[in-house]
Structure 1
Amino acid sequence: MKVSAKGDYATRAMQDLALHYEKGPIQIEDIARRQHLPARYLEQILLSLKRAGFLESKRGVSGGYYLAKHPREITVGAIIRTMEGPIIPIFCVGSGPREICIEEPRCGLRDLWADVRDAVVKIVDHTTLEDLSRQIRTRQEREGVSYQI
């Protein structure tokens, strides 16, 4: 499974908002600068995340985006599915109606790909934005790095 730039940028932006959760609305330019993302593309991504119910926004000088839920309530899996669709490494192991593969009766790979899907799903569905924030803060403390404004 390959996560597109859209999925990666969405996850990075949400991680950034989680790291700054207590600070109120964050402007797109600040997220883009800290995460090294193109602001115009990020704006489209944040609008998609807002429509999906992950974000709220506030207009005005002190406006910006903020998480609609606590970081512990948002999983990486939910973000990825919103931006990318189902998490499947190959078409034959999707959860919906699948295409018929003429090799299926003698294919030894389908079970492998299903195991890969299940492992990825387990990790991303059990990793919250709070978990990512904790990992980042631990790494920053260990390395003596701070990304705070």
Structure 2
Amino acid sequence: MKLSTKGRYGLRALIDLALYSENETVSIQSIARRQNISDSYLEQLMRKLRSAGLIVSVRGAQGGYKLARPANEISVGDVLRALEGSLEAVTCGGEDNSCQGADLCVTKFVWERINSSIRDTVDSIKLSQLVEESRLMREKGQIQVQKCDN
């Protein structure tokens, strides 16, 4: 499984939003500048995140975005599913009976374990943990503007 830029950039944007929206809304332009993401691409990602109920938008002169719920209630899995869709590494037809050999397929147990591990991992990491990690790295001077595309 490989995540697209939607998932990677969207998660970075949400961490940034969580860092800077504690007391006020945050504009797309400020997130885009800090994260080195184009405004137009970020707008697309923010629409998906808003549709998923992870962020809310505020209109007006002091408008912008903020988290829809506390960062400790938003998992990495929530963000990635909103932007990427299914996170399954392999879609095994055994569960919906679309695979004719499901009853005899030994490899389905491998795919189920892989998919379960991915789900467990991304659902166990909360946005608040990433925000705290980001703060610690900033204090140590290890973060400036994130430009990693991996």
TM-score for the superposition, normalised by structure 2: 0.83
Change (3 A) 1:13 1:101: farther
Aligned to 1:43: 43
Q: Give 1:110 shift.
A: 2.7
**Paired residue type of 2:104:** P
Answer yes or no: is the 8 Å Cα contact 2:18–2:67 preserved in 1.
yes
Answer yes or no: is the 8 Å Cα contact 1:52–1:82 preserved in 2.
yes
- Partner Cα separation in structure 1 for residue 77 and residue 87 of structure 2: 8
Tell me, which stretches of 5 or more residues in structure 1 are unaligned? none
Change (3 A) 1:98 1:47: farther
- Partner Cα separation in structure 2 for residue 60 and residue 23 of structure 1: 16
Q: Does 1:134 align with 2:121?
A: no
2:114 alignment partner, one of 101, 113, 116 = 116
The alignment of Structure 1 onto Structure 2 pairs a total of residues equal to 145
Q: Give 1:60 shift.
A: 2.2
**Seq. identity, %:** 34
**Paired residue type of 1:120:** I
Which is richer in helix?
Answer: 1
Q: Give 1:69 shift.
A: 0.7
Change (3 A) 1:100 1:54: same
Q: Give 1:21 shift.
A: 2.9
Equivalence map 1:2-17=2 (5 Å)? 2-17=2-17
**Paired residue type of 1:125:** D
**Paired residue type of 1:90:** V
Change (3 A) 1:91 1:26: same
**Paired residue type of 2:21:** Y
Aligned to 1:34: 34
Q: What's the secondary structure of 2:22's corresponding residue?
A: helix
Answer yes or no: is the 8 Å Cα contact 1:92–1:98 preserved in 2.
no
**Paired residue type of 1:97:** D
Q: Give 1:136 shift.
A: 1.2
Answer yes or no: is the 8 Å Cα contact 2:93–2:102 preserved in 1.
no
- Partner Cα separation in structure 2 for residue 58 and residue 17 of structure 1: 13
Q: CA RMSD in A?
A: 2.3
Aligned to 1:100: 99
TM-score for the superposition, normalised by structure 1: 0.84
Deviation track 1:76-110 (CA, whole Å, cap 9, x = no partner) reads 1011111222220011179x636416587354x33
Deviation track 1:35-80 (CA, whole Å, cap 9, x = no partner) reads 1111101101111211221111112222111111111111110111
Answer yes or no: is the 8 Å Cα contact 1:92–1:101 preserved in 2.
no
Equivalence map 1:19-98=2 (5 Å)? 19-92=19-92, 97=96
Answer yes or no: is the 8 Å Cα contact 1:11–1:76 preserved in 2.
yes
